[in-house]
Every structure is written in C-alpha cells, then in structure tokens.
Copies of this chain bind each other. A is one copy, B any other.
Amino acid sequence: MRDDDTNTPAANLAVRTSANANARDAADAAHKPRRKASIRASNETHLLTCAEAVFAERGFEGASTALIAERAGLPKANLHYYFPTKLALYWRVLDDVFEEWNAAADTFDASDDPVIAIGGYVRAKMALSRRRPLGSKVWANEIISGATHMQDILLKQVKPWMESRVQLIERWIDEGLLAPLDPKTLLFMIWATTQHYADFEAQIRALAGKRALSAASFEATTEEVVKMILRASGARSPAG
C-alpha cells in the first residue's frame, strides 16, 4: 500500500468536489469550451457506475481494472488516466455509497414520534436497497473482508451517528414509547433486515421467485418489514 492515510475515502470526497469545481473554473477562465470537463465528468461517472457493479460482484481483490474498463467500453489505460490506481477508484465508489447511506440516515430525524421515525427510516433503507443494490453489496463486501478501507468512515461518521441515535432511543424507552431493549441491537436488526434485500438478492430470487423483487411485491414486503420492526421495538406514538 503506497497511499498515506490522508488519502481515505472521506478525504477523497472533499478533494473530488473541489477538484471538479477547479476544473470547471479553469475551463471558464480560459474561455475554452466546456467540452473537455464534461467528457471527463461523464467518463468518470460511467466508470464509477461500472466499477460499482464489478466490485459488487467480485469484491475489491477479485475485481480487475480490465473488466471495469471493458464494461465501460473504454481502454484500460483510459481508466488509469481518470483514476490513478484501482484503490482510488474503489474509494470513490465507497464514498458515493456512503453519501446515500447518509441521506437515508437523515430520515430517522423526521419526527420525534418513534413510529414515524423508525418506520420512515426502515422505508428509506428498503427503498435504497431496491434502488441501488450494487452499492449495498460493495459496502457488504468491504465489511465482510474486514472493513480495512472503511475504518475512518465507520469511526468518524457512522459511530457518532449511531451513538446519538442510541441516546434518542433510550429517551423513547424512558418515555414509555418503546419497549425496554438494547438500542444497538435494534439498529443492527434494522440494518441487517433491510440490507438483506439488496445483498442477498440472489438467494431471495432463488427461494421466493423473481416476482418477489418486483415493484409491487417489494412495496408489500417493505410494509411487512416496517410492521415487524415496529412490533419488535414495541413502538407507540406519543399522542395515543
């Protein structure tokens, strides 16, 4: 590993955003056509999409830059022009996935009614599993492999989020709005159950049939999951 530890996914995220902005500014300032920057942007996003699929299917070590480039319809050297190393490309994919995880996490704070907060969060996580299963699989692969490239995100972003949500859940328990339970166990159960519909797609398809993952069926399953999680947590609304 030649990269120093400032080049983490989170650090990369910041770099990327400002780098893109700088590229556009430079093009504008020189009165050059915006074309180059937009070719770059579209090639980068296309490569990221293909990389997400290959990393999901084969994990970091199993994925090859040749296969990613082939799926993107670009020569391998072109991939290395945009992303210097396979690891840099991987970190960008992890970043993108975490951004969506974060957006879903916000729905937890939509209300101080645990029925609405927990129900809404479960629905958001289920929707994410359906909309972007590949991203969830990349995340899962990374953690199964020991989460070596994600320690920073886990410790600096996910952990604080979890800890404040644990306090919120404990308050709800004190107020009698939730059954006495271990908050972390509840959160892990929500993550496990909702992400299962993305990560274990292939097993669900084999066991429950292709229809099980159709739009209508998935929506019904989502409501089943919401119902069961709410029952598991013993949630009730403050008013009632």
Contacts and interface: CB of A to CB of B under 8 A. Distances in A.
Nearest to A228: B232
Interface string A147-189: 1000100110011001000000000000000010110111011
A69 interface: no
A159 B205 CA distance: 11
A59 B61 contact: yes
Interface stretch (A11-19, A111-119, A135-143): A135-143
Interface residues of A, number: 56
B147 A137 contact: no
Given A62-B62, A144-B56, A204 B188 contact: yes
A58 interface: yes
A225 interface: yes
Interface in A195-240: 195-197, 199-200, 202-204, 206-208, 212, 220-221, 224-225, 227-229, 231-234
9 contacts: A59-B141, A137-B144, A144-B199, A182-B221, A184-B208, A189-B189, A191-B200, A192-B193, A193-B193
Interface of A: 56-63, 137, 140-141, 143-147, 151, 154-155, 158-159, 162, 179, 181-182, 184-186, 188-189, 191-193, 195-197, 199-200, 202-204, 206-208, 212, 220-221, 224-225, 227-229, 231-234
